[in-house]
Every structure is written in C-alpha cells, then in structure tokens.
Structure 1
Amino acid sequence: MSQEQLAVQRVRKAFQTGRSKPLDFRVQQLKNLQRFISERQNDFIDALKKDLYKSKNGTLLYEILGLEGEIKLALSRLAEWAAPRPVVKSLLTISDEVYIRPEPLGVVLIIGAWNYPIAVTLQPLVGAIAAGNAVVVKPSEVSSYTAKVMELLNTYLDPEMYHVVTGGVPETQELLKQRFDHIFYTGNSTVGKLVMEAAARHLTPVTLELGGKSPCYIDKGCDLRIACRRITWGKFVNCGQTCIAPDYILCEPSIQDKVVEEIRKCIQDFYTDDPKTFTDYGRIINQRHFKRILALMEGSTVAIGGGHDESLCYIAPTVLKDVTPESKVMQEEIFGPLLPIVPVNGLTEAIQFINEREKPLAIYVFSPSKKVIKKMMSETSSGALLANDCLVHFTISDLPFGGVGNSGTGCYHGKYTFDQLSHLRSCLIKNLKMEKLNLIRYPPHTSGKLRWARMLLTKQVNLKRWRQLMKVAMLAALAVFVVKRFLR
C-alpha cells in the first residue's frame, strides 16, 4: 500500500469520528492555521525568494494579507454560514420546518499551484476547514522551497484530520487514484482535464481553477496614461506568472504606438531602467518555463524589452506589437512577462475576436463609456469582467472567484468556498398531525383534489413578509387603542 493511500485512509478514518463537525473544533483549527502563517512567515518569505525571487513585501502583499483576511472572515462568519438556512414555504408546508443544512462533504483533496503557492493552496483550505471537512493538501513540487515549509502544517493542525503530501507527478497521480469527496485543483487546463478524468472514476465533484488568455480591450476614448499604468502592474506582477494577468491587449491601430509609449514609461517607473537588479521584479519559476516563454516571442516584433538571462531565469518586461491571431504567442496562455498587442478595428471586432476563442478567466475593458462596458459585458462570457482595472476582483471575498468553460468550473473565496466544499442538505421536518390537509395527495385523484393541490403547492408563502405585516397590524391596532383612550 502506497504512502498516499495510507494518508487518505488515515484522514478518512479521522473524519468518520465526527470530531470536525462541531464549530468549536473548526474555529480552533482555523486559529491554528492563523498561527502557522504568523509563526512561519519568515520561512515563507525566504522560500519564495528562492522559488520566484519574490521580495519580502511582495510576499506579504500578494500571498499573506489576503489569506489572513480569509481566515478572519471565516472566524467571524462561521456560525452564520453553518446555520440552517430557511426557505420559502408553500401553503402545504406552512406549519413544517423547511430549511437547508450545510454539512461537510468528507475528505477533500487540495492540489495547489506554484505561482502563488501560499495563497492558492491555503485559501481553499480555509473554506474546507470552516465547512468541517478533512483535507489532504498537495503543494506544487515546482515551488519546492515553499512546499518544504508547507510540510510544517502537519505540526499545527490536527495531524490525523489534515495531512500534507509532498512530492512530484507520481505522488499526485497516486493521490488521484484514491477516492475523495471533492477535489480542488488550481493550475492549467491540460492537467485540469486529467484531474477531472481521474475524479470521474469515483464520481467525485471537482473545483478547477484554471487560466487561459485573458483579453484586455483599450477603448481609444479612455485615459491611456491611467489605463496603461494599471495594465502594466497587472501584467508584470510576479513576472507575469498570474492566472488572471491580462494576456494580450486589443486596441485600434491608431492608438497602438501611444499604448506602447505609456507602457514603456510605466515599466521604467515601476521597475527602473534595469528590472534585472530591481527588488520587486521576479523571475521565471524554472528553465523549462523560461525556454517556453522565449519560444513564444518568435515571429513577433519586440517594441519594449526582450532582454533575458537563462542562468537567472530572467526575462525583462516585454511588449510585442502588431501581433496577429496566427502568431505563436497567441496560441497558448503566456504565463510570463510578454504582452502582445493585437490591433482590431473597434469594439465589435474585439468582441468577435474574444468570442472566437475559449472563454477566459477574466476580461478587462478600459473605457470611460458605460455603453462600451455594458456591450462587452453582455456580448461576451468569462469568469469575471473588470472595467478600468486589473486583478483586484481577486481581493474581494464577496465576489466568487472562478472560471467558465475552459477557464475552470466552480468558484471560491469567503462564503463561496464554504458553500463549494459543503453539502447543502435539504431538510423537511413534518409532524403527524393535520392529516386531513394531506388527503388531497392520496388516491383517488379527483378534479377537486387537483384544484386544491394547485393552490397549496404553487402558492408560495413568504413568512418574513407575513410577520412584518402582522407587526404592522399589531402596531396599528395599538395606535388606535391609544388614540381612543386619549380622546375619552
């Protein structure tokens, strides 16, 4: 029996004890996770410096702060999320208890990604713990130093209920042979298909947070200085290795050169004349990805950057202009610091260009016109749509984060993670009285019974509204009584 199989069996056995169901247990585990992040913060900072050349403040800003916020939110709202949720009743069930009860799914497998190895691995874990599940965590082996720190999680959380499995592709493949109650995967669509195929053997539901080529349309009427500043930040943060980074720009030929010049200014402003020596400019994760990204530049005109150093896995912030749909850089998700500009003749052509391709994780549109924004929103499909900014929707816990079609399935963040990793169980508690009311469903099925059934089953009762009306009626009656007493 493999180590992975043993780990899953141990975790499932722990879940079956039921000790993860009480809210006190979940709260304590969330606090332990909070302590893990706090006490191992310097270890994570050192690890990410080695893995991706992330600066200390960059790690705190893009990895730690959002995770801490998710934990605090879960701790403050857990009782509310886990409480039974009443639903609208029909006249037939007006005297019954009818509600939705969130329950743990069971054993969840979380497979993390290497580009933000703390945030995208531990944020789903927050929701999994809050929902009362047992969890097997598989950090990405590509960010190997961070994965090593992640192993220490076993010493903070209940070691039987939560287990970290490290290793490479063989270990992941072995895990996917096991039966889980949910699999949460963050990564690319190629591996996402393999995860979904493995899950299908056990009819295991999946959440797939994938990626794709997220387009960025720039309207010629917008403030190019501000637009390009936000696009430059969104594209080159983490050296372009962000699943929701703007993958390419669509704009009219008349403003292409202006866009290039504004981005040139922003790169210099953000990363100095020599990004290679700048603290807050990262590196490509490894040489395999370095070579893949360089190959994507073939056949395209370099407008900005293009410099690289294989020994350091360094590629300068690079802009490519006059890119065609057939260019090599347009055939796959870039996931690196290359920003192609594809000229299009206006909004309609941009929308057609987007719709001819797989649905992206995000669409970005920069325009002062609400009409332009609404047209882009109504005529395209994507995981998210942002107008006049990039990436920041990821920071909002009340927005579900996820893709559609090729960019993923399912969503998370805040309560959405809790619901995604819960079984929302339908509950109806009836009593054995008022049996005459139920006679309409018993044979023989007469036309008279059908008329009563239609009224009782199709007429919804909003008890909250009825209670409000009753309060108003009681207050009105009280007011009439007081007035009459006063006038005597």
Structure 2
Amino acid sequence: MSMLLSETDTVCNPELKAQFDEMQLHFAAQPYLALSQRIRLLKSLKRELLTLEAELVAASSKDFGFRTAFDTVLGDILPTVKTISYTIAHLPKWAKNSPRKAGLSLAPSKVAVSYQPKGVVGIISPWNYPIQLSIVPVITAIAAGNRVLLKVSEFTPHTNQVLKKLFTGELSEHCAVIEGEALLSQQFSCLPFAHLFFTGSTAIGRHVMAAASKNLTPVTLELGGKSPVIITAQADIDKAAKAILFSKMTNAGQVCVAPDYVLVPENLQHQLVRSLCSLYKKHYKLGVDGKNLTSVINSHHFQRLTDLLADAQQQGAQIIKPLDENQSDEHKHRLGLHIVTDVNDNMKLMQEELFGPILAIVSYQALPQAIAYINQRPQPLALYIMGQDKQINEGIQQQTQSGTFAINDTLIQVTADDVPFGGLGASGMGNYHGIEGFLAFSHARNTLKTGGFNPKLGLLLAQNKILIKILKWLYLRP
C-alpha cells in the first residue's frame, strides 16, 4: 500500500464486498461458537496443514526462486502447528468467565468478565513467512470465535494456492483467503471489520491504521524496524557471532526480528568480523550456489538491497564479503552475507529496515554510548544482548524499550508459545500469541448478575438519606 485512499478508492470491488457480507451472515447466524466446535475446526486445520506439508514446501520455494526446506518447515510450518496444539490445549481455560469482586456497594450482585467474539476480522499477512504469519493470526481469531477474511501477499502466489486448500468444507465458513495487489489491499483495509490485524512494514502500517480509523476499527499492527544487538565487553564473541549469523542467514535475513546492526566495543570489532566471516565460510562455503541459502524474494527486493550497499560504499563504508566469489547472483536474486563497517546515520542502510543478509557494525567506546544510540531511535521490535554479566544485562533491559528482548540468543524468543509477541511505537501496536492473542480477538464483556430482587433499588429510587450516609462513610473518607 503506497498511499492513502481517496474517497473514490474506498469503494470496494463487488467480489470483495460480497465475501465480507457472506462472512457477516455466517457470524450473524452463529455469533457464539461453542468451544467444542472451535476446537474441532482447529484440529481439522492442523490435519490439513500436516497433509499439505510437502506442497507448502515446494510452493514456497517456487515463490522465493529458491527457499530451503529448513526455512519453510522450521520457520513456517512447525510454529504454526505448535500454535494450534497449544491453543487447543489452553482454549477452555482462556475462554472461561473470569469472576471479579463486586464490592460491598454492589452486593448481592456478582460481576465477571466474559469473552465474546468480536465478529468478522480482517488479517493482512506478509510474504516473508507466508504460512506462519497468515495462519497463526487466523488460528487465534477462530479460537476466539470470529470469522476471518485473510488477505495474503501477492508475492507468494504458489503458496497462496495451497493455503486456499486449508479452508474448504466447514472451514470455508470461518475463513476466506483473499488475493490481490496494492489496490485490493487498500480496499480491504477500508472494510468495517470488527478488528484488523496487519503484519508488515511501519510505513504501510500507518496507512492501514488510517484507513481502519474511518470505521473506528481497532487494529493490531505487527511491524518491524531496525533491531539492534548490543555486544558487551563480557561477551563470548564466537558464541555471539553464531547467534548473529543464524539470525541474518535464516530466510536470507528476511525476518522482522532479525538484527539490522550490531553495537560492539571498539576493541572487539575486528574479532567479531573475523568470527562472522569464519563461520560463514564454514556453513555457507558455496555461497549463493549452496542449497542451504534461501533467495531474496524477488528481483525488486534484491535490487533494493544492492542499492543500499552501493549507497553506503559511496559514503565511505567498508563492505566485507566473507567469500571472494559466489556472494551475489542477480539473475536468481540470491545474496550472501555482506558485513558493513564504518557506517554513519546518513547512509540509507542505517535509516531503513534491511530485511536481507546485510549486517551493519557500529563500534562504541563505553556502554552508555550504545544505550543512548538505541534510545535516540524508534523502539525496535527486538533487542538482543550478548554478554555474561547479569547485572549489566539487567541494566540494559531496564534502560531500553523494545517489543521483544533476548539475552545470548536471537530469533527464537518469538517461538515461545506462552508469551505475547508484539512491538511498541514504530515497531507495532498490540500483541498476539498465547492468551494475549485470544484477548486481542475477543471483547472482554463486563457482566453483572443480580438475583430476583435487589433490596437497594427501592432505597436508591427514593434517594434514601441513610443509604447515602452509609455509602459516604464507606467510600468517601480520606
């Protein structure tokens, strides 16, 4: 989505409007799905996912030009299936009414919070993890009892066709998969959803939120930004390099929580670069000719990455390639690791989210410098610390803000089932995963129950002075 909608653009095409209306009818016919039915739907979805595993791996590889089975199975299918299993196991507990204290003033009434579905929700998914980032929000929305329209990325047409196979039969009444390019995405955001969930860039997230605001549609925005790594003086450099390389080469660095830059003590920079290069040569010795390296999604994004490197080099940055050859293949849009040193804030790669196998190195002399560098910029989606000093690590955690936070590891914090995932500020709004996801797609309804007769009603209607004195004595004392 490249621009805000004009008044004429807000008119949906008839097919999209018809799909929305159909889901509205399904919801109106059954506005509260029994938990047993939700669980049955989730089990059916899990079976279909497992059945279609090989097709999803093949389709995803076609969409990327080449994508390793590791990236699709470990990064897409496994976390999706795990989420279904976890949700099924915990949904009965999540959906139970939550008793609350009514207090003496409301006695003998009882109060509770009940969780009801919001209605028809919209989900806009990205291309980088086209299975997980499409289906996991759908899982959560269905678990909360909603109907779903899922807008998938136009960059992954082969994967989209397999995803459509998931939602047939009974599941088709609960989720419909929508395909289309930028204009359809714009029109999709303008539908009067009960909730709109978007995963993508910060720039497009702003437009999604603006479009949703016209209908007062609440939004969850899972965005990105420039996620840093702080290497402290106490870090094991070789272990830190392993964690960083894993995160930069998984899915060719096309991960919203992949590190964009590393803050490293000046005296450890050379050691870090040497360790990264050594590890890359060991694990990716064939470079872009290897079968363990996923391609950049398409030629447009490949060109974007090479332009970022060219801009940095023109401004004095040093580009370090671990291999002398096989570092780039324009025809197949494949790119090996590129380490960039001597960077400055005027370089585009220090201003934009990289989303590729490029890693900027920023040296610092004292830790407060590194903390200030992060705090002077928008809050990142992820912040990583490499170091063994518990007190220093806790100090960094307390002095910074980020969507997620991990010590001596990268990426895997987002796979934990029982914790929320989401950003803040420019990196996102709201959470999903676990119970927080269920709550995001549910309306927490204030529920009061009174027996056949409330003895206070007569006194309240009469504005009884004694009752007022008692209430003032109970609640209006210093």
Per the normalisation by structure 1, the TM-score is 0.89
* Structure 1 position 445, deviation (Å): 5.7
- Give CA-to-partner distance per residue, 1:39-70, whole Å, 9 cap, x none: 21111000111123222233111111111111
> Structure 2 residue aligned with 1:304, among 305, 318, 321?
321
1:448-467 aligned within 5 A: 449-450=468-469, 452-453=471-472, 455=474
- Give CA-to-partner distance per residue, 1:152-209, whole Å, 9 cap, x none: 2332543233211112112222222321101111000111111101100100000100
**In the superposition, relative to structure 1, how do residues 433 and 248 fare at CA in structure 2: closer, same or farther (>3 Å)?**
same
Residue matched to 1:473 = none
CA–CA distance in 2 between the matches of 1:454 and 1:409? 43
Residue matched to 1:15 = 27
| AA in 2 matched with 1:34 | K
> Structure 1 residue aligned with 2:289, among 261, 269, 277?
277
Deviating more after overlay: 14-23 vs 107-116: 14-23
* Structure 1 position 354, deviation (Å): 0.6
Q: Which runs of 5+ in 2 are unaligned?
A: 1-12
> Structure 1 residue aligned with 2:188, among 175, 188, 194?
175
Match status 1:392 vs 2:412: yes
Residue matched to 1:250 = 263
* Structure 1 position 438, deviation (Å): 8.0
Moved over 3 A (4+): 436-442, 448-454
1:339-378 aligned within 5 A: 339-378=359-398
| AA in 2 matched with 1:249 | V
Residue matched to 1:24 = 36
Residue matched to 2:174 = 161
* Structure 1 position 148, deviation (Å): 1.9
> Structure 1 residue aligned with 2:63, among 24, 45, 51?
51
Residue matched to 1:4 = 16
Q: Aligned pair count? A: 457
**In the superposition, relative to structure 1, how do residues 455 and 438 fare at CA in structure 2: closer, same or farther (>3 Å)?**
farther
CA–CA distance in 1 between the matches of 2:260 and 2:101? 44
1:381-460 aligned within 5 A: 381-433=401-453, 435-436=455-456, 439=459, 443=463, 449-450=468-469, 452-453=471-472, 455=474
> Structure 2 residue aligned with 1:215, among 228, 233, 244?
228
Deviating more after overlay: 137-146 vs 331-340: 137-146
Match status 1:379 vs 2:399: yes
SS at match of 1:312: coil
Residue matched to 1:108 = 121
* Structure 1 position 276, deviation (Å): 1.4
Residue matched to 2:342 = 322
SS at match of 2:113: strand
| AA in 1 matched with 2:468 | K
- Give CA-to-partner distance per residue, 1:425-477, whole Å, 9 cap, x none: 0111123545259847963667x83554453699xxxxxxxxxxxxxxxxxxx
Residue matched to 1:287 = 299
| AA in 2 matched with 1:294 | T
Is the CA contact (8 Å cut-off) linking 2:120 and 2:149 kept in structure 1?
A: yes
**In the superposition, relative to structure 1, how do residues 378 and 148 fare at CA in structure 2: closer, same or farther (>3 Å)?**
same
> Structure 1 residue aligned with 2:137, among 121, 124, 141?
124
> Structure 1 residue aligned with 2:240, among 227, 236, 243?
227
* Structure 1 position 370, deviation (Å): 1.7
Give the greater-gyration-radius structure (CA): 1
CA–CA distance in 1 between the matches of 2:287 and 2:410? 21
**In the superposition, relative to structure 1, how do residues 454 and 116 fare at CA in structure 2: closer, same or farther (>3 Å)?**
farther
CA–CA distance in 2 between the matches of 1:70 and 1:417? 11
| AA in 1 matched with 2:103 | S
CA–CA distance in 1 between the matches of 2:261 and 2:458? 62
Per the normalisation by structure 2, the TM-score is 0.91
**In the superposition, relative to structure 1, how do residues 295 and 453 fare at CA in structure 2: closer, same or farther (>3 Å)?**
same
Deviating more after overlay: 287-296 vs 52-61: 52-61
Question: Identity rate of aligned residues, in percent?
Answer: 33
Residue matched to 1:336 = 356
